[in-house]
């Protein structure tokens, strides 16, 4: 498709003004949130002008690729004014304005630093403020911050801990206005193995605490398995890797469940599921799962080769060597190595002899990309270092020669160290080695005369020895006195000359050149120590020389060997192993190492000169032989930000370092309105308009890609633009899924609905990818594609699959999709966007688009009532689902019956318990509270299979849901591959309300009402009564306690969910009334309470409840009625009767800061008002 083909979209042009097709709620949202305003805060543009502003601004970048900007603008305008697609809110507020910020959310890193580092705590706080000022939301991982109470070495004090700094961020978000429209919105994540995880779980328990954050716990597969098996987990200090505590995984899981059941937070983020779908693993992990290597792992650094535990002990940060296949310089900056605790460790063995021990989730580079150790298969080819590494700054050629010969043909006794030379070596080498030893240990002093160390002929043997007591002392210092068959530490970290001299001497002493003529040539080194050969193999690789070790080349037994006297004798020989260098590795060996003796060097040179075509080229890979569990031990970690890799025992491994999501990444979001893609055929039956949906997805994908270039990134935080352009992530999602299910008469949550959701999401993903490939052909792929799963030279992306095979393709007339064509397109052109799909919150945009259901959620309510004050008169505004009304009418119900049904539905928002609703309608028209937790999760999982990013959805559980229901939802989501989950229990069971009231009362008793020092103290126990009354804000439980004289002493008021604004207002009323009763006064407490009744009675709010004498105008009016009943001033308020009119939101809605109605509910992982459309996201 080309943009010149505008005629195909002419049919989609609106035929009436946009404003005429908007609901009152939609107009209110546009005026309040999206229309530009003047100094008087009144709109200065019309709705049509706003849509033109957005489409014009986004289309303006099309000129960069030679497109007709005016034509594209017209297409974009048609797309969004027909409400087939809606971009995210920042695009509406920022496009064509001086602000120019169009992205929705940004991920900011936080390191354990107060501000010296670019991502230090207060540097990131500054970045957050700047981003939120432009209308963007921010996400953070607090997992890198040291735990509360950890020692601060610079000051000697104790650390505040992550939660303490979250309070600082929360206050800043409260102050900073997001683009002049709302407060800052934040997401905070903490790993489940952080020592402060329990405090993090509880941090939002108190009312109003950290109110500008949603929080999630980052859990791993290992943690969830530990929960299943009732095992313990280590809590690790990220500062130094030390284990702070070992706790039951179930204990932590139960705390997460309890808190989520109480107030919906925290949610859970399944880290391993997220990382499995990471399209750019070479750029980092999303809050990685800390893969680690064993302490004896050799790490190649700018100062030589060191063990991981040695680097951790010194605490220094050195650049590390990286493989040449990443296309960067050899040395790259890296963090210090640090321990990460005791973990299960596995040994990976290769057929070539390379070996390393690491955790099961540590990734190794292979010919098929990064693969976790536990997923390596036999004959997988792992990558080994393919170029010369780096060397230290200490050591000498002489020391390298002496140590190499000692390891090869030397021995260490209690009194001296001995180097032996045989045959031609006596002439060629012994004198020079004697000089080398003398230079190292000095001349011997005898009778005040100094004598050099000289070669000593051994009578009767063809041998010359160089021996010295002082040489033994030197050898002992090198760590070879007890075990000489090893590469000493000084060589690992020695200069290039020292390492080359060590190898040259060792290969001369114990190595051979085997010229096989036409069969090829090889250099071989034999030893009874397999471990020595492995060390030598790793050292050779530092020179770019690969090799292979053959285990037990000859078994143990007696053999005839030279006796040193010119003859042979029988000796018992241990089994020996052989290291072999062949192919073009011989060239590098000859040039950089070689032999000391003329005979061996000439033999090697003669072969290399004789070869015409040259030896075969080394691939620098090793074939996996086995992966086996070896036990538990301390493991170590480092982070290399450029290639996310380092060299461990010669093998290319992924960097261990934890990356808090992908730093500075942001995403441009938008949603397809599924409700606008249903058409009714000639037979009156609804069908999905797949052709129209395809067109919408194609244009929307181009729109979002243009947004990346049209966005005005913050100059003060240049990393934001760099990250956005590097991967060009977009997030095309959906809204109106519940609407389309109503149209097609499919019950939300059913097996049928799960398949339909999967089919629709697969269709969207397919055409989004197809368009992104076309964009890559026109404009080029995203810059970081090399090394990603979409790398055309190494494609590791695989087509997504549904959770269950489709059985209803024909029913909904969706044709099969050719995923092979997508694979072929990626291999030829790459792809324009690293991610293409997500399901983001759609609150206000869905309201504008006229959707009944937001995002991928079910419809929240079929009907509800609002009350408005119009010049002092209460006006009732009733909302009823248009699709529900249409269904009732098509079912043949007359107007009177339909009205009766609607009146009943208004009580709860659901039709499930309403008589005379046809069963077919009852089955289809479910709302959020009618869907079970398992159905919610399975719907999310069905969509997740075709969403490469994440899904914003709230699992709304009914009021009688238990903590076990929440736990089951979390477990099921993990098992089905969801990337995260948020649950919310709408309301509470009565016994839970009373229990909560009891807890709140005990807290009050413990601290009292600390208002005045003259407040009367509370007795140990008081009697009283609790009254139940329905109010516009929910059912209120009012407790009036009296003292021994029967006088009222205190009042407790409980309304709504703990932690909500409604509950806070109720508690405030109760505290103030109690204060009035407990302060000294000449009036009796009863008379004071009567004054309270007179002051509160008759206060009106946004809406009333009930009729006649049972009418409750507001929460204060309801309190007054209850207190009047307690004092005998009025008859009990009726709880039943035909006149009672309930609102849907009486039981679960919170107060809306815009309209004041108790209609704010949790949905799509966000909070929004169903009365006026206000959204916190």
**Residue positions annotated with a catalytic role:** 290, 656, 658
Helix (H), strand (E) at residue 1065: helix 1061-1078
- Strands 651-654 vs 645-648: parallel, antiparallel or unpaired: antiparallel
Token pair in block for residue 609: 């000169």
> Token pair for residue 778?
């026109």
Q: Which helix (H) or strand (E) holds 1088?
A: helix 1085-1096
| DSSP-derived secondary structure letter, 983 | E
Tokens of 1061: 């604004």
Token pair for 111: 């390191």
Structure tokens at 90: 């920042």
Alpha-carbon span 988 to 1000, nearest angstrom: 15
CA dist 602 and 594 (Å) reads 10
CB 135 within 8 A of CB 90: yes
What are 142's two structure tokens?
Answer: 């607090």
SS3 state of residue 534? helix
Question: Among all chains, which residue has been given the structure tokens 């309105």?
Answer: 673
**CB of 1099 within 8 A of CB of 1114?**
yes
Bridge partners of 578, per DSSP, are: 526, 550
Contact 805, 876 (CB under 8 A): no
* Strand 1158-1163 relative to strand 304-307, pairing: unpaired
Residue among 1121, 798, 1062 at smallest CA distance from 946: 798
How many angstroms separate the CA atoms of 645 and 587, rounded?
Answer: 28
Tokens of 871: 């010049």
Per residue, the 3-state secondary structure of 624-663, as one string, reads: EEEEEEEEEEEEEECCCCCCCEEEECCEEEECCCCCCCCC
The token pair at 376 is 């390596």
Q: 614: how many CB neighbours lie within 10 A of its CB?
A: 10
Q: Which SS3 state, helix, strand or coil, does residue 172 take? A: helix
Nearest residue to 340 (alpha-carbon basis) of 389, 289, 380, 280: 289
Q: Rounded distance, CA 182 to CA 378, Å?
A: 56
Three state DSSP letters for 720-770: HHHHHHHHCCEEEEEECHHHHHHHCCCCCCCHHHHHHHHHHHHHHHHHHHH
Q: Please tell me the distance from the alpha carbon of residue 181 to that of residue 178, in angstroms, as a whole number.
A: 6
Structure-block tokens of residue 145? 């911050």
Query: Which residue is listed with tokens 């069963």?
Result: 919
With H, G, I as helix, E, B as strand and everything else as coil, classify residue 955.
Answer: strand
Nearest to 982 by CA among 935, 926, 940: 940
Cβ 970 vs Cβ 981: under 8 Å: yes
8 A C-beta contact, residue 300 and residue 320 = yes
Rg (CA), the chain: 37
Q: Say how far apart CA 980 and CA 218 lie, in whole Å.
A: 9
Whose CA is closest to 707, among 33, 7, 32, 86?
A: 86
- Given a contact cutoff of 8 angstroms between Cβ atoms, the answer to whether 917 and 951 are in contact is no
Per the CB < 8 A criterion, the answer to whether 635 and 294 are in contact is yes
The C-alpha atoms of residue 293 and residue 657 are separated, in whole angstroms, by 11
């Amino acid at each position: 498709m080309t943009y010149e083909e505008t005629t195909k979209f002419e049919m989609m042009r609106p035929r009436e003004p946009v404003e005429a097709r908007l609901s009152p709620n939609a107009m209110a949202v546009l005026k309040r949130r999206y229309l530009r305003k003047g100094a008087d805060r009144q709109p200065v543009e019309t709705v049509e002008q706003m849509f033109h502003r957005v489409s014009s601004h986004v289309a303006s970048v099309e000129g960069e690729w030679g497109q007709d900007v005016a034509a594209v603008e017209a297409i974009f305008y048609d797309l969004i004014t027909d409400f087939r697609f809606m971009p995210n809110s920042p695009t509406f507020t920022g496009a064509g304005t001086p602000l120019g910020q169009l992205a929705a959310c940004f991920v900011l890193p936080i390191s354990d630093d107060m501000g010296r580092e670019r991502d230090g705590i207060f540097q990131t706080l500054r970045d957050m403020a700047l981003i939120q000022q432009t209308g963007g939301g921010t996400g953070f991982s607090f997992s890198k911050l040291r735990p509360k109470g950890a020692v601060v070495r610079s000051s000697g004090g104790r650390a505040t801990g992550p939660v303490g700094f979250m309070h600082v961020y929360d206050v800043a978000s409260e102050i900073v206005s997001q683009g002049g429209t709302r407060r800052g919105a934040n997401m905070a994540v903490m790993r489940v193995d952080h020592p402060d995880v329990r405090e993090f779980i509880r941090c939002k328990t108190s009312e109003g605490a950290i109110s500008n954050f949603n929080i999630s716990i980052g859990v791993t597969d290992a943690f969830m398995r530990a929960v299943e098996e009732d095992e313990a987990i280590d809590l690790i200090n990220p500062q130094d890797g030390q284990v702070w505590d070992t706790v039951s995984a179930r204990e932590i899981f139960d705390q997460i469940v309890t808190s989520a059941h109480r107030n919906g937070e925290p949610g859970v983020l399944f880290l391993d599921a997220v990382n499995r779908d990471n399209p750019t693993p070479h750029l980092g992990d999303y809050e990685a799962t800390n893969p680690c290597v064993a302490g004896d792992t050799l790490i190649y650094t700018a100062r030589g080769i060191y063990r991981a535990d040695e680097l951790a002990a010194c605490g220094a940060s050195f650049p590390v060597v990286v493989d040449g296949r990443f296309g960067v310089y050899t040395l790259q900056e890296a963090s210090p190595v640090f321990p990460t605790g005791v973990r299960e460790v596995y040994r990976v063995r290769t057929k070539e002899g390379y070996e390393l021990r690491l955790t099961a989730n540590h990734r190794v580079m292979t010919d098929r990309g990064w693969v976790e150790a536990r997923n390596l298969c036999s004959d997988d080819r792992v990558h080994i270092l393919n170029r010369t590494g780096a060397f230290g700054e200490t050591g000498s050629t002489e020391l390298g020669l002496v140590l190499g010969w000692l390891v090869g043909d030397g021995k260490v006794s209690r009194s001296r160290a001995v180097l032996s030379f045989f045959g031609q070596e006596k002439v060629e080498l012994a004198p020079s080695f004697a000089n080398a030893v003398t230079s190292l240990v000095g001349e011997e002093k005898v009778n005040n005369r100094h004598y050099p160390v000289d070669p000593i002929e051994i009578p009767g043997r063809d041998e010359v020895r160089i021996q010295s007591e002082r040489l033994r002392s030197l050898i002992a210092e090198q760590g070879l006195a007890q075990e000489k068959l090893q590469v000493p530490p000084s060589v690992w970290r020695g200069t290039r000359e020292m390492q080359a001299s060590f190898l040259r001497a060792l290969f001369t002493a114990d190595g051979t050149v085997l010229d096989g003529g036409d069969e090829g040539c090889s250099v071989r080194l034999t030893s009874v120590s397999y471990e020595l050969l492995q060390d030598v193999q790793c050292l050779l690789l530092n020179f770019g020389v690969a090799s292979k070790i053959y285990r037990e080349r000859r078994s143990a037994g007696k053999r005839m060997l030279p006796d040193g006297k010119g003859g042979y004798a029988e000796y018992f020989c241990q089994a020996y192993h052989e290291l072999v260098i062949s192919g073009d590795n011989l060239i590098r060996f000859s040039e950089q190492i070689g032999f000391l003796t003329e005979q061996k060097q000439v033999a090697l040179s003669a072969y290399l000169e004789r070869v015409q075509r040259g030896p075969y080229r080394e691939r620098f890979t090793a074939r996996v032989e086995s992966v086996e569990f070896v036990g538990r031990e301390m493991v170590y970690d480092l982070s290399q930000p450029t290639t996310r890799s380092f060299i461990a025992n010669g093998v290319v491994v992924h960097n261990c370092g934890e990356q808090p999501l992908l730093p500075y990444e942001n995403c441009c979001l938008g949603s397809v309105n599924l409700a606008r893609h249903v058409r009714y055929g000639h037979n009156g039956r609804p069908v999905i308009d797949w052709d129209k949906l395809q067109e919408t997805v194609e244009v929307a994908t181009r729109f979002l890609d243009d947004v990346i270039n049209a966005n005005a990134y913050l100059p003060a935080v240049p990393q934001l633009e760099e990250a956005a352009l590097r991967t060009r992530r977009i997030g095309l999602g959906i809204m109106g899924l519940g609407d389309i299910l109503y149209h097609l008469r499919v019950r939300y949550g059913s097996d049928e609905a799960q398949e339909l959701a999967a089919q629709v999401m697969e269709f969207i993903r397919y055409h989004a990818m197809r368009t992104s490939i076309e964009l890559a052909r026109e404009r080029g792929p995203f810059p970081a594609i090399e090394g990603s799963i979409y790398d055309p030279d190494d494609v590791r992306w695989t087509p997504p699959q549904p959770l269950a095979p489709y059985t209803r393709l024909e029913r909904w007339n969706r044709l099969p999709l050719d995923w092979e064509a997508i694979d072929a397109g990626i291999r030829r052109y790459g792809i324009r966007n690293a991610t293409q799909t997500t399901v983001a919150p759609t609150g206000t945009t869905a309201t504008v688009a006229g959707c009944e259901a937001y995002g991928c959620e079910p419809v929240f309510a079929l009907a509800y009532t609002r009350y408005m004050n119009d010049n002092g008169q209460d006006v009732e505004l009733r909302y009823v689902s248009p699709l529900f009304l249409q269904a009732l009418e098509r079912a043949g119900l007359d107007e009177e019956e339909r009205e009766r049904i609607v009146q009943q539905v208004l009580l709860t928002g659901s039709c499930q318990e309403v008589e005379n609703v046809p069963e077919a309608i009852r089955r289809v028209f479910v709302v959020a509270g009618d869907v079970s937790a398992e159905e919610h999760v399975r719907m999310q999982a069905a969509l997740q299979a075709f969403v490469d990013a994440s899904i914003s959805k709230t699992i709304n559980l009914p009021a009688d849901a238990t903590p076990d229901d929440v736990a089951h939802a979390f477990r099921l989501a993990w098992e089905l591959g969801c990337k995260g989950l948020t649950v919310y229990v709408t309301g509470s069971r009565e016994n839970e309300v009373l229990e909560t009231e009891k807890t709140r009362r005990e807290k009050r008793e413990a601290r009292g009402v600390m208002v005045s020092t003259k407040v009367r103290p509370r007795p140990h126990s008081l009697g009283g009564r609790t009254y139940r009354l329905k109010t516009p804000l929910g059912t209120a439980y009012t407790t009036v306690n009296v003292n021994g004289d029967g006088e009222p002493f205190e009042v407790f008021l409980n309304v709504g969910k703990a932690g909500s604004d409604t509950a806070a207002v109720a508690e405030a009323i109760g505290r103030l009334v109690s204060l009035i009763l407990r302060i000294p006064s000449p009036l009796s407490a009863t008379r004071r309470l009567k004054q309270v009744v007179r002051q509160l009675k008759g206060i009106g709010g946004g809406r009333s409840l009930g009729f006649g004498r049972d009418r409750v105008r507001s929460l204060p009016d309801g309190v007054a009625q209850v207190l009047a009943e307690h004092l005998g001033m009025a008859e009990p308020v009726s709880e039943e009767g035909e006149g009672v009119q309930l609102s849907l939101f009486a039981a679960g809605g919170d107060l809306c800061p815009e309209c004041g109605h108790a209609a704010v509910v949790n949905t799509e992982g966000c909070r929004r008002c169903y009365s006026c459309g206000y959204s916190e996201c």
